[in-house]
Amino acid sequence: MTTYEKIKTAIANKQSVSFKYDGLIRHMSPHIIGTKKGGEQALFYQFGGESNSGIDKDKAQNNWRCLPLNKIEDLVVNNPLEVPFQTALNHLNPKVEQTCIDDIDVEVTI
């Protein structure tokens, strides 16, 4: 199964994922997957692990990450009983338009 297929399935099942990106271990919940300018990308909510920009525990709405899938390594789909799916309250805010994905394949329903 490809990285794209694993993340797409994780979105459909509301499962979090863990992987290495830019040499850092990240714990994320994928929310949207598709393409932007032909490249496969996903919008994630980062709730743990490491980040170059930091993980803001006080303002969770700042923990969104738009990542190209070709840079993801060692992807693991987590057991939802051990590592639950997480999100921020601003995910479905109609005033905030996401710019990560041009052609959405799958989006999580909350």
Residues 70-93 have pLDDT tens digits of 999 999 999 999 999 998 876 665
Hey, what amino acid is at 36? K
User: What is the reported pLDDT for 95?
Assistant: 44
The total number of structural domains that make up the chain:
1
| DSSP state letter for 38 | T
Low-confidence ranges of the chain (pLDDT < 70): 59-60, 90-97
Tokens standing for residue 58: 């006080």
End-to-end CA distance of the chain: 25
100 is in which domain, residue-wise?
Answer: 3-107
Tokens standing for residue 47: 């709730």
Other Cβ atoms closer than 10 A to 3: 18
The answer for residues whose C-beta is within 8 angstroms of residue 47's C-beta and 6 or more apart is 16, 27, 28, 29, 55, 63, 86
User: What is the reported pLDDT for 56?
Assistant: 79
Please, are residues 17 and 76 in contact by the beta-carbon 8 Å criterion? yes
User: What is the reported pLDDT for 92?
Assistant: 60
User: What is the reported pLDDT for 94?
Assistant: 45
Give one word for 49, left, alpha or beta, with left for phi > 0 and alpha for psi -120 to 50.
left
